[in-house]
């Protein structure tokens, strides 16, 4: 309840929540909100402009763009949460081990992290996806496995600052196992920056999925995705402006919502800035 109160009092976080709530409702209630089947073609209404029957117009196969954007929100949210969840799990495990044990283990792990961070992430994703069959599950796994390095560094820094505090030394003196000390005593106090980075990372994952789908190696048609709707917009930009406007707005608003919420959480959790939102 305290966190909710602070979010409500923080302007940026509140705006982010107001933007994201309709997105979640659209994704959860898509079968009830959508006026048409997103996969059903209508040859009588090919590239029809926005109207009462089709609020966002239709695409080159006569499919309702509004329905496809609503169902596409499910893909975007699924990719965002699952890929960031994979990155968070990997980053927490590697960062905790590196920070707690230190020494040669820390040195080896951090040099591997530095090596991974040298690769341009998007081009690394492109290379891996090109070798695999394009599918939503492969996209989520690849995005997750190429975005854990920053989280690992954050967790390592937090563990290094916590592991020599009195409550951790007391746990060691009582003979608790290292596993219990790491995951019961250290990690609950080291995850605050992870919440912020994960929130911001969801927006980045949605952008990455949209870019891959736009390039034709992401979510494959006929499954609706904001990115592959934009691919059709590229081919019909001169005669169907609505194909680029509405999915572009959906991507923009969703990513902005997560970024605003992430920035708000940063202010809320940072003791140096907390006075600004209390």
Q: Which two tokens stand for residue 139?
A: 């996209």
> Could you give the CA distance from residue 100 to residue 103 in angstroms, rounded to a whole number?
9
> At 239, is the secondary structure helix, strand, or coil?
coil
Residue pair 48/57 in contact (Cβ under 8 Å)? The answer is yes
**Per-residue model confidence (pLDDT) at position 163:** 85
- Decide: 145 and 86 in contact? Cβ < 8 Å: yes
Q: What's residue 21's pLDDT?
A: 92
Decide: helix, strand or coil at residue 222. coil
Residue linked to tokens 């309702």:
64
CA distance 153 to 91: 8
Tell me the CATH architecture of domain 2-276.
Orthogonal Bundle (1.10)
Per-residue pLDDT of the chain (278 residues; tens, 9 = 90+): 677 787 788 888 889 999 999 989 988 998 888 888 888 888 888 888 998 888 999 988 889 999 999 999 998 889 999 999 999 999 999 999 999 888 899 999 999 998 888 877 778 787 777 777 777 888 888 889 888 999 999 999 999 888 888 888 888 888 888 888 888 888 888 888 898 899 989 998 998 888 888 888 888 888 888 888 888 888 888 888 898 899 999 999 999 999 999 888 888 876 555 544 45
HSE, CB side, 13 Å, CA atoms: give it for residue 204: 17
Cβ proximity of 129 and 104 under 8 Å = no
Cβ distance 268 to 275 under 8 Å?
Answer: no
Q: Domain limits of the chain?
A: 2-276
Residue 29, token pair as written in the block: 């209630």
Give me the pLDDT at residue 270, please. 67
Q: How far is Cα 219 from Cα 233, in angstroms, rounded to an integer? A: 16
- pLDDT at position 166 is 85
pLDDT of 277: 45
């Amino acid at each position: 309840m305290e966190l909710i109160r602070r979010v409500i009092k923080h302007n940026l976080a509140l705006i982010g929540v107001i933007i994201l709530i309709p997105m979640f409702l659209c994704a959860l209630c898509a079968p009830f909100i959508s006026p048409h089947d997103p996969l059903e073609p209508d040859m009588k209404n090919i590239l029809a402009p926005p109207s009462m029957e089709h609020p966002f117009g239709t695409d080159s196969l006569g499919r309702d763009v509004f329905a496809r954007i609503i169902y596409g929100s499910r893909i975007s949210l699924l990719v965002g949460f699952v890929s960031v969840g994979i990155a968070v799990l990997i980053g927490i495990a590697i960062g905790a081990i590196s920070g707690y044990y230190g020494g040669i283990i820390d040195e080896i792990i951090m040099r591997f992290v530095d090596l991974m961070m040298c690769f341009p992430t998007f081009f690394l994703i492109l290379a891996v996806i090109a070798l695999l069959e394009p599918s939503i599950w492969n996209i989520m796994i690849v995005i997750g496995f190429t975005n854990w390095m920053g989280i690992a560094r954050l967790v390592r820094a937090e563990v290094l600052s916590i592991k020599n505090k009195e409550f951790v030394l007391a746990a060691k003196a009582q003979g608790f196992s290292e596993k219990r000390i790491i995951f019961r005593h250290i990690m609950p106090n080291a995850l605050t920056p992870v919440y912020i980075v994960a929130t911001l990372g969801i927006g980045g994952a949605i952008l990455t999925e949209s870019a891959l789908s736009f390039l034709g190696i992401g979510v494959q048609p006929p499954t609706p995705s904001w990115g592959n709707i934009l691919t059709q917009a590229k081919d019909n930009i001169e005669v169907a402006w609505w194909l680029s406007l509405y999915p572009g707005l959906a991507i923009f608003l969703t990513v902005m919502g997560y970024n605003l919420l992430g920035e708000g959480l940063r202010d809320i959790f940072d003791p140096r800035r907390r006075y600004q939102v209390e």
